[in-house]
Amino acid sequence: MGLVIAAAVVVIVRLPGSPPDHGGAFSVTDPLATVEDFAAALRPDAAYRPPEPDESRALVDAVTRLGRQGSAASTAAAEPGPPGFRTATGVDPSTGRPFAILASVPNDERGWGLYLVDLSTAPSISVQVPHPRADLHTESVGVALFRRLPGAVLMVAGTHRRVANGAGDVAHRKDSMFHALAEEQSRRGMPQIQLHGFDDTSLPDADVIVSAGAGRHGKEHTEIVDRLEASGLQVCAAWRARCGQLEGRRNRQGITAAKEDATFVHVEISRTVRDGADRWGRLVAALAETDFRSRE
């Protein structure tokens, strides 16, 4: 899966605890802290406007450039990001791998997301967090999974899902930078894992719900479920049982992936699992150890 899609730069806006801004670049010492601070700052009453097509294209192009530059980007001065973004590069203290980050400013009307790219190898898989803060701890799960997958691109939406009467809910909208990048990933055949959270009462007998969204399930979906069940988690697999309204069949990124016959894994995580790193750690391990290299 030597796909060249990447995220190039990161805009990180004045998050709590962020280092000072110096000419559009900033220093990130721990991607997990940066992502968690970014998510914690998001407000449901913030201003927001969807990007114009040329603005979305600028982000996709920036990410693609980073993917082509790879580790060379981590030794160069961070170049300016697209409008609305700042950039940073560094080495992840947890993995020792170089990364680049591109992030918008929380609660600015251009709340277009945070994109974290592993520069150690060609981009090969996308980890998506469409509802940061609203789906509590999914951003932390996303970083943990990113760290287990060399060549990953982590995408975190830049708004709370309730912003502007739902206009910022990227899982159900096509007019977002998040969707524009996911669409490009689907065209290139990049597997996508999208993380969500549900309340325990919505499906009391399940810890995790796994589906292919609007597409067909494949061996990778079955392998994920087998690994989760072997770890002791209770799983509802949408192709073999009814999982309520939590199957992601109307998810916009999933619909696009299905059209391109790209792998899309929609993962709903119960609040109980999300509240315990030991429990969601089993989920991360199952996803990270799954073979996404080919489809049946």
pLDDT single digits (tens) 172-210: 999 999 999 999 999 999 999 999 999 999 999 999 999
Query: Quick one: pLDDT at residue 70?
Result: 76
Closest CA to 262 of 209, 187, 151: 187
CATH superfamily of 191-291: Zn-dependent exopeptidases (3.40.630.40)
Distance CA(185)–CA(188), nearest Å, equals: 5
pLDDT tens for the chain, residues 1 to 296: 444 444 333 333 334 334 333 336 667 889 999 999 999 999 999 999 999 999 999 999 998 888 877 777 776 555 667 888 988 999 999 999 999 999 999 999 999 999 999 999 999 999 999 999 999 999 999 999 999 999 999 999 999 999 999 999 999 999 999 999 999 999 999 999 999 999 999 999 999 999 999 999 999 999 999 999 999 999 999 999 999 999 999 999 999 999 999 999 999 999 999 999 999 999 999 999 999 975 55
Query: Quick one: pLDDT at residue 291?
Result: 93
Give Cβ neighbours of residue 293 (< 8 Å, ≥ 6 apart).
1
pTM equals 0.90
**Extents of the domains making up the chain:** 1-189, 191-291
